[in-house]
Amino acid sequence: MREIIIKSSVPLTSAQKQRLEKGLREADKSEELRFRYVIDAIVGGVMIVDGEDVYDASVASELRRIRKNSEKILHSHKDGVSVKDIPDLLKSKLSEMIDHKPDFEHCGKVISAADGVIKVEGLNNCRYGELLLVGTGGFALAMNLEKDTVGAIVLSDADSAEYGDYVYTTGKIIEVPVGEELLGRVVNPLGMPLDGGKRISGDETRCIESPAPQIIDRQKVSEPLETGILAIDSMIPIGKGQRELIIGDRQTGKTSIATDAIINQKGKNVYCVYVAIGQRAAGVGKLISTLKKHGAMEYTTVVLTTADDSAPLQYIAPYTGAAIAEQFMYDGKDVLIVYDDLSKHAVAYRAISLLLRRPAGREAYPGDVFYIHSRLLERAAKLSDEMGGGSVTALPIIETLAGDISAYIPTNVISITDGQIYLESELFHSGVRPAINVGLSVSRVGGQAQRPFIRKVSSSLRLDIAHYRELEVFAQFGSSLGDSTKAVLDSGAKTVEALKQNEGEPMSFLKEAVSLYAVSNGFLKEIPLRCVGAFLRELYDHFEEKQPALLRSLSDRGALDHREEIRFNEVIEAFVKEFTERHAEQ
């Protein structure tokens, strides 16, 4: 059964309905028809909607045709007559048609609506990216500016825009609430609360789209943003103002790294923004619970879109997060923002572009898919002291398929960012957590964003692990190994074991420093492989209890002088002896 919608300005009589239904049934006898009558502001006449086919015999459409022809004639007049010179009778009819709005020339009408995308006729003064009012309460974002129509994406409920709805320009780009009242809140991409808390006042707002800071307004990335993850802070350091990509297959711990980085900012005067793009609601709920458990929601804002949300909302979500972060940055604060993940963002933009009938390129993505990510990530920066010295550090996440980092979207984002942390499924399933592939991971800022002590003790760590991985492959085929090869394999296995870290347990700078010093200076040689984790934990506790002055000196200066380093060695040597004797007895 097919439903036919019949719109009229006044209720039809029974006789009119019978004649109309009889004619429609005779025109199409192949299928049973059901009729639904709707009262609409079409001035007069009728409009028949049959699925995607619309038969418009309304007075409103005739008035639009008259207005369009009048505008063409008036604009082509040699004296440049404006639209305001339309005869008073026509002007009054048009004003009546759009509910008596005085700025009738800024009003259009929906001529097609499907899957959250609408086409609007009559918005000659619309700008790209402008916020449009649809009907009485819906909103849309102008995306396509064509000769006679405007293509827009619906930001409210996708079913809220229908054929014939009136659309008004607002003269504004989308603005969202910003400021400290958003800390600890979960909001949607339009800045509306989703956590059941009090209403957000919106006294301070910011456009979701804004130009990235100019080069002259930036300064060099030199201050470390410590994630609390030993493998990252030692070999792939992140600085404030950097853009470091987290990339890997699904279920390899990408979100866990971002979560630990947020938790580690507690007490460091760094605000955090987590943008969930098309994620499972249950997964985001678990993440929020983890942040609350560690007291991290106090300085964090979550911008949430789930997989059930429309593609337009998923598309604007990261720009909303960037606007919230930028406000803090221009106030002189340091911000960490996580985009989880930009793969889903690209898919949402692809869906919008295909519905808008834009030309498709590689993998059906539109030609400007690179631009939507570059203009987003370029907004991360470390501002100069004259601009307040604030910073936004971005951790975008990209999901790969079967480890293919050479796919279209991954290579795009790799070329935009300042390095990447590559997580490998094989390492993850073998028990190495975090499952970071050191060979494919890199930080283009490097040691510039590390504390001197960490830079010194971790300088050879990457090469040691690479050498161990290489020998590990060849050792599988060799029946006998030399002593030197066995020593390298043993040392490498203990280094990998030392870099393992549980989720939700970020390490302080001092704990990282003690662990790295013990690893890089060969103090694990006498420690059994299975005891490496316990040894490093107990070693730090021993320093805290017996050598607080040494740790305080390291914390204050970020380095040790010659005498302190000798003392450091003596303390570790004594503890190694004590630890091995204790475990030998056990």
Which residues does the annotation mark as catalytic?
444
Classify residue 102 by burial, with Cβ atoms within 10 Å: 0-12, 13-18, 19+. Answer: exposed
β-pair partners for 36? 5
With b for 16 or more beta-carbon neighbours within 10 A and e for fewer, the 346-376 pattern comes to: bbbbbbbbbbbebeeeeeebbeebbebbbbb
Give which of 563, 217, 505, 145 is closest to 379, Cα–Cα.
Answer: 217
Q: Among candidates 304, 299, 256, 301, which has minimal Cα distance to 276? A: 304
For residue 229, what are the contacts with CB-CB under 8 A and spacing of at least 6?
Answer: 257, 260, 261, 264, 434, 501, 506, 507
Instruction: Identify the CA nearest to 341 among candidates 400, 291, 425, 418.
Output: 400
The answer to whether the beta carbons of residues 419 and 410 sit under 8 Å apart is no
Task: Check if the beta carbon of residue 575 is closer than 8 Å to that of residue 535.
Answer: no
- The answer to whether the Cα torsion of 373, 376, 380, 384 is positive or negative is positive
- Structure tokens, 248: 């890997």
Closest of 69, 67, 12, 21 to residue 45, by C-alpha: 12
H helical segments located in 166-253:
230-235
Give the residue from 125, 99, 162 showing the smallest Cα distance to 154: 162
Q: How far apart are CA 423 and CA 439, in angstroms?
A: 11
* Residue 313 burial (CB count, 10 A): 25
Maximum pairwise Cα distance, the chain: 105
Which of 539-552 are b and which e, b meaning 16 or more Cβ less than 10 Å from the residue's Cβ? bbebbeeebeebbe
Q: How many CA atoms lie within 13 A of 412 on its CB side?
A: 24
Structure tokens at 47: 């409009």
